[in-house]
Copies of this chain bind each other. A is one copy, B any other.
Amino acid sequence: MIIDCHGHYTTAPPALEAWRKQQVASLSDPSSAPDPADLVISDQDLRDSVEANQLRLMDERGIDVTIFSPRASFMAHHVGTFETSAEWASICNELCYRVSQLYPERFVPAAMLPQSPGVDPATCIPELVRCVEEYGAVALNLNPDPSGGFWSSPPLTDRSWYPIYEKMVEYDIPAMIHVSTSVNPAFHTTGAHYLNADTTAFMQLVQGDLFADFPTLRFVIPHGGGAVPYHWGRFRGLAMALGKPPLEEHLLGNVFFDTCVYHQPGIDLLLDVIPTRNVLFASEMIGAVRDIDPGTGNYFDDTRRYIDHADLSADARTDVQERNARLVYPRLDALLAGQGR
């Protein structure tokens, strides 16, 4: 079985974006605020949106199950207030849940949180509870920078984040660390902000001792860990300089990297440098990079091919493609087991 731990609902029916635009417009004209009930998306709309896209590519690439969360760049936590994000997260999470109900063997939901800059992360707990308890979410996406590229939040090791971590430990669910759109003109969203956030989050964890407080807390750092595996020597040296234990001991019981790295040499480095048990298969399709690589004739984001061509034993490949995900996402494992898989 191949589990893709990083898929977003980037192809939702256009009515979703239209509703969001109306919501954003209403921030300066509250009388025009749309009702969530105004948004009507049929099951057939949902089917059409994934069958032509994610599901088609999953079939072509042999991906069995995708952990499916709302479109990351559309989370846009910087927009409006907590209430704006709460309404928007509720809608987006429900859509991912409905897709998972339509294809219970193919999509499993992960929750987006209603984060808002400067607002206590504890305000996200009710939506998280709802997603886990009512929608069967097996994970959540945690945005370390809800300001959208201005980085006004404290590091992830700050105690203000702890209410979320306590809930994650209680539910035994991991978080993927994932920012949203950059509204800072310095940062291209998918070419700079996403990768920077991955690197930044990892270094925050190097500096802190978060897992002393939460020994079972688990984070997945997407996009192959940003710059981290490429600079593994630098991070090992910085950990030494900071008086921390070796990274394997300090972080690798709790921190995992996905395989959203879109060329063979990158995947080879990731698998060479990071222990196999810390690498989880993912493609983030349909995501930032949608073209075919003219150098190979294959899609850049067809990460299955890179894993197939990597120098891995069959056993290690199974770890990356399936077993590690079952360990990091126990609620996914339980769900699959309940399906006899």
Contacts and interface: CB of A to CB of B under 8 A. Distances in A.
A216 interface: no
Interface in A142-176: 144-145, 149-151, 153-155
A291 B239 CA distance: 10
Contact of A236 (B230, B293, B301): B293
A16 to B, nearest CB: 22
Interface residues of A, number: 57
Contact of A234 (B231, B236, B238, B289): B289
Interface stretch (A68-76, A90-98, A187-195, A313-321): A187-195
Contact of A289 (B188, B223, B238, B301): B238
Interface string A182-219: 00111110111001100110011011000000000000
A262 interface: yes
Copies in the complex: 2
A7 interface: no
Of the candidates A207, A223, A238, A261, the one having the most CB atoms from chain B within 10 angstroms of its own CB is: A238
A191 B234 contact: yes
B230 A191 contact: no
Given A273-B265, A293-B233, A238 B199 contact: no
A241 interface: yes
Given A154-B185, A192-B200, A234 B262 contact: yes
A272 B261 contact: no
Given A192-B199, A195-B199, 15 more contacts: A149-B151, A151-B186, A151-B187, A155-B185, A155-B186, A191-B206, A195-B234, A230-B269, A231-B266, A234-B289, A236-B263, A236-B300, A237-B289, A241-B291, A268-B269
19 contacts: A145-B186, A151-B187, A154-B186, A155-B185, A187-B200, A187-B203, A188-B206, A190-B238, A192-B200, A195-B196, A195-B227, A195-B234, A196-B196, A229-B230, A234-B262, A236-B263, A240-B291, A266-B273, A269-B269
Complex A-B, nearest 8 residue pairs according to Cβ-Cβ distance, in ascending order:
A233-B263, A233-B262, A237-B289, A227-B227, A230-B230, A191-B203, A196-B196, A237-B300
